[in-house]
C-alpha cells in the first residue's frame, strides 16, 4: 500500500482509507459486528492505516466497532472521528453543537469508545453557525496541548471558515464530498488547501455507491437507507445519471478494471494530498477498491474523463434540503 501525507501536517496515512459509517449507520440495517471486525482487520492486513468514523454514526456504535476492531493495532493506524452533533428533545441526533464544553465532553466519550489515549484526527463534523470557529479551534487546540487529540480537521467547511480556524489551530485535513459526480471543491476549496498546506479527504468518493455501476433507476434501497431521501437518488435522477456510469465502464474496460477503480484512480490523480475514504461492508469490494492505488491513468485518460464530465449534466441535489442547510459556504 502506498502512503500519502495530508498536506503539510506531518500526518502520513495509506493512500486510500476506509470509511466505516455504512457498517453501522446510514445504509439501512447495521452489518453484523463480528463480520465488520474481521473486515476492518483484513483492511489493516492489506495496508490500510486510515479509518474514518464519528460519534453520531449509530450514534456511538461505529466508534465502538472501531475501538474493538483496531485495539490490537494501537499506534499502527490513524483513526479519525468527529464531533459536532447532539440529540434534540426527541433523542434524534439532528442538532449542531460545537460549544467548547460539548466538544470536550464528546472527546472523552470518543476516547473511551475507540479505546485510545489520543484521537489521531478530530474533525468538526459540520460548522456550527452559533459558535465562532475561533472558539471551536481554540477548544481543539487545548485538547491537543493536553495530549487528547493529535490533529484538527474540518468537514464541509467553506473557505472563510477554513482560514479562520487555521489561524488559531493548524488544520491538518478537510473532509468533504468529492467525486466524479460532485466536483464543487475544485473551484475555491482546492486552491485554499494548497496555499495553506491542508490535506483533503473525500467522502462518498464512489457517489454513495452509484459510480460502482451496480445500481440503476430500478434499484430499491432498504428502509432506513438515507439514499431514499437524497434527490440525486430519485428514480428520475438515477436514470439520467447512468450516462456517467456508462462512460466510466468504457474507460474501465480499456484498462481491464472496474468503474469503481477508475473513479478512485481519478481522485488520486487530482492532487498528491488527496486521500479518499471509500466505504464497504464486503471483502471483495475492499480488495477491488484497494487495487485502484496501483491503477495509473494517463494524461489522455484524464482528458477523456474531463471531456465526458463536460458533456454530461448530472441531475439531482446531493442532499435533502435540511442537510443542505448545514453546509458551510
Contact 45/233 with Cβ under 8 angstroms? no
What would the grid cell of residue 169 be?
489551530
Comparing C-alpha atoms, which of 221, 231, 127, 256 is closest to residue 181? 231
Cα separations in angstroms, 156 against 189, 252, 324: 10, 30, 11
What would the grid cell of residue 52 be?
474514518
Annotated catalytic residue, options 57, 123, 151, 178: 57
β-partners of residue 50 are 78
Per-residue b or e along 78-116, where b marks 16 or more CB atoms closer than 10 Å to that residue's CB: bbbbbbbbbeeeeeebeebbbbeebbbebbeebbebbbb
Rounded-to-integer distance, Cα 37 and Cα 35, Å:
5
Rounded-to-integer distance, Cα 299 and Cα 268, Å:
13
Quick check: helix, strand or coil at residue 153?
A: strand
Annotated active-site residue 123? The verdict is: no
Rounded-to-integer distance, Cα 230 and Cα 232, Å:
5
Longest CA–CA span in the chain (Å) reads 55
Contact 153/165 with Cβ under 8 angstroms? no
Ranges assigned E (strand) in the chain: 3-5, 12-14, 18-19, 50-52, 78-83, 85-86, 95-96, 119-124, 149-155, 171-177, 199-203
Rounded-to-integer distance, Cα 141 and Cα 300, Å:
44
Q: Which residues are catalytic?
A: 57
Amino acid at each position: 500500500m502506498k502512503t500519502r501525507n495530508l498536506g503539510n501536517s506531518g500526518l502520513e496515512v495509506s493512500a486510500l482509507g476506509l470509511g466505516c459509517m455504512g457498517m453501522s449507520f446510514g445504509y439501512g440495517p447495521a452489518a453484523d459486528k463480528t463480520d465488520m471486525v474481521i473486515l476492518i482487520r483484513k483492511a489493516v492486513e492489506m495496508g490500510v492505516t486510515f479509518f474514518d468514523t464519528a460519534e453520531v454514526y449509530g450514534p456511538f456504535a461505529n466508534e465502538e466497532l472501531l475501538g474493538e476492531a483496531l485495539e490490537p493495532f494501537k499506534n499502527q493506524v490513524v483513526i479519525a472521528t468527529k464531533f459536532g452533533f447532539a440529540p434534540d428533545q426527541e433523542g434524534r441526533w439532528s442538532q449542531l453543537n460545537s460549544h467548547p464544553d460539548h466538544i470536550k465532553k464528546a472527546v472523552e466519550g470518543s476516547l473511551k469508545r475507540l479505546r485510545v489515549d489520543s484521537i489521531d484526527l478530530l474533525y468538526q463534523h459540520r460548522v456550527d453557525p452559533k459558535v465562532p470557529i475561533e472558539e471551536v479551534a481554540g477548544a481543539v487546540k487545548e485538547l491537543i496541548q493536553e495530549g487528547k487529540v493529535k490533529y484538527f480537521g474540518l468537514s464541509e467547511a467553506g473557505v472563510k471558515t477554513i482560514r479562520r480556524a487555521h489561524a488559531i489551530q493548524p488544520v491538518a485535513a478537510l473532509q468533504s464530498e468529492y467525486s466524479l459526480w460532485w466536483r464543487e471543491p475544485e473551484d475555491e476549496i482546492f486552491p485554499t488547501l494548497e496555499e495553506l498546506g491542508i490535506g483533503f479527504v473525500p467522502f462518498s468518493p464512489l457517489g454513495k455507491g452509484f459510480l460502482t455501476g451496480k445500481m440503476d433507476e430500478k434499484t430499491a434501497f432498504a428502509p432506513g437507507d438515507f439514499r431514499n431521501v437524497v434527490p440525486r437518488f430519485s428514480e428520475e435522477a438515477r436514470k439520467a445519471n447512468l450516462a456517467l456510469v456508462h462512460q466510466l465502464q468504457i474507460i474501465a474496460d480499456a484498462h481491464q478494471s472496474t468503474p469503481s477503480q477508475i473513479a478512485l484512480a481519478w481522485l488520486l490523480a487530482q492532487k498528491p494530498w488527496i486521500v479518499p475514504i471509500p466505504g464497504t461492508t464486503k471483502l471483495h469490494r475492499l480488495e477491488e477498491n484497494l487495487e485502484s492505488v496501483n491503477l495509473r491513468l494517463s494524461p489522455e485518460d484524464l482528458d477523456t474523463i474531463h471531456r465526458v464530465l463536460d458533456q454530461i449534466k448530472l441531475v439531482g441535489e446531493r442532499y435533502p434540503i435540511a442537510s443542505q442547510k448545514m453546509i458551510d459556504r
